[in-house]
Amino acid sequence: MEIKYNLKPASERRTEQFKPEGNVGFGKLRTDHMFLMDYRDGEWVDPRIVPYGPFEMAPGAMTLHYGQSIFEGAKAFKHDDGEIYTFRLNKNAQRMNRSADIVCIPNIDEQLQVDAINALIDVDRLWFPEQDGACLYIRPFIFATEDRLSVSPSEQYTFCVMLSPSGAYYSADGVNEGIRLLISTEFHRAVSGGTGASKAAGNYAASLRAGKAAAEYGAAQVLYLDSTNTQIEEVGAMNHFHILKDGTVIIPEFTDTILKSITSQSIMELGEQLGCEVRQETVMLDKFIADIEAGEIVEAGGFGTAAVVSPVSSYIFEDGRIVTVGDGSVGPRIKRIYQVYTDMQKGLMAAPEGWVQKVERVAPQG
Ligand SMILES: Cc1ncc(COP(=O)(O)O)c(C=O)c1O
């Protein structure tokens, strides 16, 4: 499908490369344009790039009432050749369709999703924030637009892609200090048969209360357990992992209550290059805690696009008990995973075939 360009006049667009002074932070800035495509009469139509701005939407739009809305999150990086490269976008497109299936949204051809993102980045390439560790954060999302108040799948949707120039998550020295996680028996992110394996907007609304509770315990986020409070599932916006003293990385098995992190999948695929075995298994909470206390588990953390790897220094239970991983400092294996992964993203180390894709210069000028 051919993408139409309805761009801002040159006088209203960025004309020089964005070179911000301080760290621009995450998710606050926008670029000049967004990509839109609509679903009506049973098909996705009218792919277009237009100026970034508000949507016109009926108050009865079904997304506002029943939350039929899903999203993705990915990043693009600038390499030393001055070009912008995306990282595993096809995996995001695949997962968008999995999320869509879970909340009854019609799929979008994966290549079309990837093409839409590339076209938008190409148009707004001058917005890439030129500073150490920065990226263009990519936020594709789909929401129901039909003006109808019955609880059933909408027959109309909009697919939108927006970009946010974002700053480095960590300082130039690498990974930050570890965080504390609240092991919650009170809040649950997902149950079997529910929407946990999707990036459905409602999952994140439901996590806000748990996040507030975590803050009351001095924790950064909640470590979610399954609904029987016996197995470790994942963190609010990251998959959980731990590392045994022989270096094996263990990620909880992907079930229908866990989001299939692209970072986790990539770490599994990279195993050999990271010099360690990476495997998935069911992780029982009691054994996990006992193994930390016995020194069998030496590092732990979360995998996700935002931070790549976020080390966990300690866990706190609701009764105030604290369990510290090792001596609480960031371990060498986490540092290595972070280094290898970010070097691949930045083009400083060869990534497996197809992971890194150049954004071609095809947009109309002027
Ligand atoms: C619930 C949840 N789990 C895990 C992840 C990590 O997934 P990814 O590595 O694809 O960013 C995210 C973030 O996207 C998330 O929201």
DSSP 8-class letter at 347: T
DSSP 8-class letter at 257: T
| Average pLDDT of span 257-266 | 98
Reported as type and span, the H/E element at residue 302 is strand 297-304
Measured in Å, residue 25 CA sits from the centre of ligand 1 at 19
* pLDDT tens-digit series, residues 143-189: 999 999 999 999 999 999 999 999 998 888 788 899 999 999 999 99
How do 221-225 and 179-184 pair as beta strands?
A: parallel
Residue 72 CA, closest ligand 1 atom number: 14
Mean residue pLDDT of the chain comes to: 96
Residue 265 CA, closest ligand 1 atom number: 9
Report the candidate in 305, 312, 257, 287 with the shortest Cα–Cα distance to residue 92: 305
Measured in Å, residue 308 CA sits from the centre of ligand 1 at 10
| Average pLDDT of span 248-259 | 98
CA–CA dist 355, 304 (Å, integer): 16
Domain positions in the chain: 4-168, 179-345
Tokens of 290: 């006992």
Report the helix count and the strand count for the chain, using DSSP H and E. 7, 18
For a ligand 1 pocket test, name from 261, 310, 338, 342 the mutation site with the most ligand atoms within 8 angstroms of its C-beta: 261
CA–CA dist 278, 267 (Å, integer): 7
Which CATH superfamily groups domain 179-345?
A: D-amino Acid Aminotransferase, subunit A, domain 2 (3.20.10.10)
Asked if residues 347 and 317 have their Cβ atoms less than 8 Å apart, the reply is no
Residue nearest atom 15 in ligand 1 by C-alpha distance: 237
- pLDDT, position 178: 96
CA–CA dist 1, 49 (Å, integer): 13
Portion of the chain with pLDDT greater than 90, in percent: 93
HSE-up of residue 366 (Cα within 13 Å, Cβ side):
0
CA–CA dist 36, 55 (Å, integer): 10
* pLDDT tens-digit series, residues 294-337: 999 999 999 999 999 999 999 999 999 999 999 999 999 999 99
**CATH 3.40.640.10 applies to domain 4-168:** no
Please check the confidence at residue 365 and state whether its pLDDT lies above 80: no
For a ligand 1 pocket test, name from 92, 141, 239 the mutation site with the most ligand atoms within 8 angstroms of its C-beta: 239
Residue nearest atom 16 in ligand 1 by C-alpha distance: 237
Measured in Å, residue 148 CA sits from the centre of ligand 1 at 31
205 burial via Cβ count (<10 Å: 0-12, 13-18, 19+)? exposed
Please check the confidence at residue 81 and state whether its pLDDT lies above 80: yes
- pLDDT, position 366: 58
Measured in Å, residue 53 CA sits from the centre of ligand 1 at 27
* pLDDT tens-digit series, residues 83-97: 999 999 999 999 999
Measured in Å, residue 63 CA sits from the centre of ligand 1 at 22
Ligand 1 binding pocket, CB closer than 6 Å:
73, 234, 237-239, 259, 261-263, 303-305
Residue 189 CA, closest ligand 1 atom number: 1
Please check the confidence at residue 98 and state whether its pLDDT lies above 70: yes
- pLDDT, position 271: 87
One fold for both 4-168 and 179-345? no
Measured in Å, residue 73 CA sits from the centre of ligand 1 at 8
| Average pLDDT of span 99-119 | 98
Report the candidate in 263, 196, 1 with the shortest Cα–Cα distance to residue 108: 1
For a ligand 1 pocket test, name from 259, 260, 264, 269 the mutation site with the most ligand atoms within 8 angstroms of its C-beta: 259
Asked if residues 196 and 100 have their Cβ atoms less than 8 Å apart, the reply is no
For a ligand 1 pocket test, name from 75, 90, 92, 305 the mutation site with the most ligand atoms within 8 angstroms of its C-beta: 305
273 pLDDT band (50/70/90 cuts)? Answer: confident
HSE-up of residue 163 (Cα within 13 Å, Cβ side):
29
Please check the confidence at residue 67 and state whether its pLDDT lies above 70: yes
Residue nearest atom 13 in ligand 1 by C-alpha distance: 237
